[in-house]
Amino acid sequence: MANPSLTAMSAQHPDAAPAFTRRLLSLDVLRGVTIAFMIMVNDPGGPGAWTQMQHAAWNGCTATDLVFPAFLFVVGASIVFSVEARLARGDTRRQLAWHTVRRAAVLFGLGLLTNGFPYFRLAHFRVYGVLQRIAVCYLIVGLLYLLDRRLWTKVALLAAVLVGYWVLVRWVPVPGAGVPGRDIPFLDRNQNIVAWVDRQLLPGHLYEDRPLYDARDPEGLLSNLPAVGTTLIGLLAGLWLRRQKSASAKTMGLAAGAAACLAAGYLWSAWFPLNKQMWTSSYVLVAAGWSLALLALAFWAVEQRGWCREGWGKASIWPWLVFGSNAIVAYMTSELLPGALGLIRFTDGRVRSNPEIWVHIHVFMRIHDPGWRAFAFSATYTLVCFIPVWMLYRRRIFVKV
């Protein structure tokens, strides 16, 4: 995790941007915004939530679908600043490689913890998950950057990943079903090569494993390939921000990258639809485009305009900086808290209840509009998860995985 006590630029010369060897405050802010909204959309407060607070049912893309790839994008950009800072301090590539492996293993283990807590029923224990995907993408992209820090190799790999995944999903026959677009519908919800592989590897241990549906998992094995592409685009953004250019030029470069990704992604979606659950290549580009746009805005506000220094600007970025400084702590709190509250059981009238259910019934159900009710619940839950990271921030404690 980044240290928010580091200043992003010289206050006297905000437009003079050196080649950074550390993370930027704007990157911490974007990480904080992302983790806060990730908590909100993971706890939407019921089926009445607004459309943009829910994932698209299959093809399509809502604001909620953009949250997870934004976090992977930040992971990719952070790799550049973390590696360069540690190399500048004298660490060897071998040391950094072992650090990357250990950190990925810890993230994967935390993901398994959140999947099983508090009962750990192994018969249908889910292996895939959000933190597991972050761990895989961080491991692959981190080691690749240590092996080869050239720009063109990352661009070539990104193109190969996106095109290769499209070829895999579009042209490789699904065993027992046929070729997509000829024998079965392209991107069929049940009959696709991504879901088929997961069913062979981990039957009974997937996110969707209901009797009436073929099993599938939105964080499955093959869809890690385009997710690596998302992380690579973040890494490319990090490389751009380390170049010897003015802050205004960097902002314009991020904005241009956003426009290019959005245009390419929406155009490609006519043939390869946007789909978060399969992490389609068009979805990678569109999600990265919005992430680049948000980073451009944060970079302009924090590094170029200096909002972090004083007044209302400093106050406006403070909560995101707090969230971003201990993002994994915030996420783990949001994932483990419902399970912990579920262990506290009591009778409410004649009905068995727990603290979360009691609050929902006696507080939020008083809000008649289902959309506002769900939003109030998710926003309140996010504020609850803010408390531990705020306490850590006050004590200048930054938990590193």
CA–CA separation, 261 and 267 (whole Å): 10
pLDDT of residue 23: 52
Q: Are 30 and 70 in contact (CB under 8 A)?
A: yes
Residue 75: closest CA among 34, 127, 128: 34
pLDDT of residue 48: 86
- pLDDT tens for the chain, 401 residues: list them: 333 333 333 333 333 334 444 458 899 999 999 999 999 999 888 788 899 999 999 999 999 999 999 999 999 999 999 999 999 999 999 999 999 999 999 999 999 999 999 999 898 899 999 999 999 999 999 999 999 999 999 999 999 999 999 999 999 999 989 999 999 999 999 899 999 999 999 988 998 876 545 678 999 999 999 999 999 999 999 999 999 999 999 999 999 999 999 999 999 999 999 999 999 999 999 999 999 999 999 999 998 888 777 677 778 889 999 999 999 999 999 999 999 999 999 888 878 899 988 998 899 999 999 999 999 999 999 999 999 999 999 999 998 88
Count of other CB atoms within 10 angstroms of residue 228: 25
- What are the tokens at 36? 């806060």
pLDDT of residue 211: 52
Q: Dihedral of the CA atoms 154, 157, 158, 159 (nearest 10)? A: 130
User: Model-level pTM greater than 0.85?
Assistant: yes
pLDDT of residue 142: 97
Residue 280: closest CA among 297, 259, 264, 256: 264
CA–CA separation, 210 and 77 (whole Å): 37
pLDDT of residue 173: 96
pLDDT of residue 21: 44
pLDDT of residue 351: 83
CA–CA separation, 239 and 79 (whole Å): 10
Count of other CB atoms within 10 angstroms of residue 254: 24
